Structure 1
Amino acid sequence: MAYECPIVRFHPNAGIENMAIGSQQQDEPVQDPIYENSLPRVIQMEGNIETGTVAVAESKEIKSSGKRSNIGKTVGFLILMSLLFVCLICITIFLVQATTKLEDSNEEIMILQNITSEQKKEMNSSKQLLDRIQSQAMNNIQRLSQRYETIAKNLADLDDKRVNCQKNLIGLIKNSGEQVAKNISFMQQTIECNKVNTGLVGRINKMEEMIRKMNRTVSDPHRQLKLQGLCPVQYLGHCFWSVVHSSKDINVDEAKRICGVNNGLPANVYNEQHLNDLMADIRRKISADTFIWTGMQVDISTNAVLMRDGTRASYVKWWTGGFPNAGESGLYIHVQTDPSSSRQGMGNDPPTSKFHGVICEK
């Protein structure tokens, strides 16, 4: 009778040659120390059923050992695959980091290139700016040079003016009177004082101003008269002065001669204020009531009061009633020392009559 198990076939009459391992028909032989050690024991128990039972038990143990060996290999394989997977992850991480660093490096390179490009642009801009500054500086230097030449020319012109002023001063000294000589002396002293100043233009301006003042003094006869005390009253651009004697010794012809000494004429009276100003000037020179000739006259045919040129007078104030006297053409002013007195003003008398003085006009 034969017995079969999943691993060993055994027959009581069979020897070692008739025993085979069933798994060899389907699987590779199991190389296991437990299996190898158990095989002789199975062979030594031939012809005994009990020995066959032991062989079946041994066969089961061999199968369990093979399973454990396969599980160990599977675990090792899984561990190896896990390690490989971990290595692949590490390599992937490394590659990602390397790629990131490479991208960062590329960005830095691009930034550096951009910076270099901007620096080149800034250098070009700086160079252009420097060129513009140099150009402007050259233009400014040229303008300053032209201005310097203009100033030098102006100074030369001012020097010529100064020379001409000196010549004019010399001419004025020769052709002017005593007052002009005094003014020139004062001006020369001023010029000597101004020599210590450094401003040539300022000195020339002062000289020209002095020359203008002297010219006004020379050309303005009223100013000369005023400087001589002959223009105490001014009206309508004319000068008026009075000549008063203590005695009555001046007729109309003598009055004209006295005024002509200073190139004047017996005066007109233009209005009330003018008359009051003339009497106030006369009042400072008298100590009693006084009669003063004017340049006005009375038309004996019409008794109209006329100005020196023959036009009708616009203002007349008689000093008392009864005037004008018939047939008397000379017009005088009666002045009291008391300005509030009503018995003062105009009157008429023959031109041959003699009075204290005359009012002159220029």
Structure 2
Amino acid sequence: MDFVSFILFISLICGLRAKLKVPAGFCASKIVNGKLVQVGDCKKDDGSEIARLIQKSLDEKKKAEIECDFKYDSKCYKAFVYVTQNVAFNDAQSICKSMNNGKPANIYDLAHYKWLLPHLRLLIPAEWISIWTGMEYKNNQLLLSSGGPITIATEVWYPDYPISAVSRTNVPVLVDMDPEYASQGMVNYPPSSSFHGVICEI
């Protein structure tokens, strides 16, 4: 063994020994092959550490399953689109709630609307989709899901909408595959109407 190899060998041994030293009071726990493995000063022996690790694993799995389809202004959005129009507004709410207690999404301004459309077009199964938002239209006023009023550019509305009718309280968006097609935009319909899905704000 030459001198350089000898020095490297000694450095490796010293490094391994240093790695094995665990500071006082330190405890690292991990589940390996279904068994709890602990290194350091681990005093808990009541099963709470196993329960904590299992819960942490479940939380991480759930978080991974709820990855955003897209983000805007630090908000997370996930869209659910079905081939048939079978989602009423109460279904839309349930779908979003199952995603980390989400809610049908708001559209906050014209820039947000224009940003959203290309993302939704990627999800169109045929030529167009109709998809619920969380917004409402009441007393000739557009409202956020929180109930607060919002003013938005008239160009986001489908031609001849909104319609002033007491029953047309909820706001879906109709999106065509062709961005230049005139007949698309926000509409107001009764919550019992069925559409292709919902966009959730999580």
Structure 2 distance, partners of 1:352, 1:295, is: 14
Query: Runs ≥4 in structure 1, deviation > 3 angstroms?
Result: 164-172, 177-181
More helix by share: 1
Q: String of CA shifts for 1:333-354, please: whole Å, max 9, x gaps.
A: 0101122333322110111111
Equivalent residue for 1:249, pick from 72, 86, 89 = 86
Is 1:314 the counterpart of 2:154? The answer is: no
Which amino acid counterpart does residue 240 of structure 1 have in structure 2? Y
Structure 1 distance, partners of 2:50, 2:127, is: 50
Q: CA deviation at 1:172?
A: 4.3
The count of corresponding residues between Structure 1 and Structure 2 is 162
Over 3 Å counting, the alpha-carbon distance change for 1:173 and 1:357 in structure 2 is same
Equivalent residue for 2:137, pick from 274, 295, 298 = 298
Q: CA deviation at 1:179?
A: 7.3
Give the number of the structure whose alpha-carbon radius of gyration is greater: 1
Q: CA deviation at 1:274?
A: 1.9
Equivalent residue for 1:357, pick from 191, 197, 201 = 197
Is 1:231 the counterpart of 2:68? The answer is: yes
More strand by share: 2
Structure 2 distance, partners of 1:276, 1:169, is: 48
Other structure's SS at 2:187 match: strand
Structure 2 distance, partners of 1:174, 1:230, is: 21
Higher relative contact order (CA 8 A, sep 6+): 2
Is 1:323 the counterpart of 2:191? The answer is: no
Structure 2 distance, partners of 1:326, 1:157, is: 70
Partner of 1:174: 54
> Conserved in 1, the CA contact under 8 Å of 2:161 and 2:188?
no
Partner of 1:135: none
What RMSD in Å do the two structures reach over aligned CA positions? 2.7
Other structure's SS at 1:341 match: coil
Report the TM-score when normalising by structure 2: 0.69
Gaps of 5+ in 1: 1-154, 182-220
Q: CA deviation at 1:170?
A: 4.8
Structure 1 distance, partners of 2:77, 2:147, is: 20
Gaps of 5+ in 2: 1-19, 30-37, 43-47
> Conserved in 2, the CA contact under 8 Å of 1:325 and 1:349?
no
Partner of 1:280: 118
Structure 2 distance, partners of 1:280, 1:171, is: 44
> Conserved in 2, the CA contact under 8 Å of 1:292 and 1:334?
yes
Partner of 2:7: none
> Conserved in 2, the CA contact under 8 Å of 1:292 and 1:355?
yes
Over 3 Å counting, the alpha-carbon distance change for 1:290 and 1:180 in structure 2 is closer
Q: After superposition, where does 1:53-64 map in structure 2 within 5 Å?
A: none
> Conserved in 2, the CA contact under 8 Å of 1:244 and 1:356?
yes
> Conserved in 2, the CA contact under 8 Å of 1:233 and 1:277?
no
Structure 2 distance, partners of 1:169, 1:282, is: 43
Which amino acid counterpart does residue 176 of structure 1 have in structure 2? K
Other structure's SS at 1:158 match: coil
